[in-house]
Homo-oligomer: A and B are copies of this chain.
Amino acid sequence: MTAPNGRPADPTRHDTVAAVVRQWHTVHPGLDTGPMEIIGRVNRCAALLQQAEDAPLRRAGLSRPEFDLLGALRRTGHELTPGDLARETFSSGAAVTKRLKQLTERGLVERRGDTRDRRVAHVRLTDAGRELVDGILPEQLEYETAVLSVLTPEARDELAARLGELLGRLEGSLGMLRA
Q: Are A76 and B35 neighbours in the complex by a CB distance under 8 Å?
A: no
Q: Are B48 and A46 neighbours in the complex by a CB distance under 8 Å?
A: no
Q: Are B159 and A16 neighbours in the complex by a CB distance under 8 Å?
A: no
- Pick from A92-100, A102-110, A113-121, A168-176 the stretch touching chain B: A168-176
Using a Cβ–Cβ cut-off of 8 Å, how many residues does chain A contribute to the interface with B? 73
Q: Which residues of B contact A137 (CB under 8 A)?
A: 28, 31
Number of copies: 2
Contacts A156-B38, A171-B48 known; A162 to B162 CB distance under 8 Å? yes
Q: Which residues of B contact A150 (CB under 8 A)?
A: 166, 169-170, 172-173
Contacts A48-B174, A141-B35, A160-B37 known; A12 to B165 CB distance under 8 Å? yes
A53 in contact (CB, < 8 A)? yes
A43 in contact (CB, < 8 A)? yes
A122 in contact (CB, < 8 A)? no
Q: Give the CA-CA distance A148 to B170 in the complex, in Å.
A: 8
Q: Give the CA-CA distance A20 to B73 in the complex, in Å.
A: 11
> Can you sample 27 A-B contacts with CB below 8 Å?
A1-B157, A2-B157, A11-B161, A11-B165, A12-B165, A16-B167, A16-B171, A23-B76, A28-B134, A28-B137, A31-B137, A31-B138, A34-B145, A35-B141, A37-B163, A37-B164, A38-B148, A42-B46, A43-B46, A43-B50, A48-B170, A150-B166, A151-B165, A155-B162, A155-B165, A158-B162, A159-B163
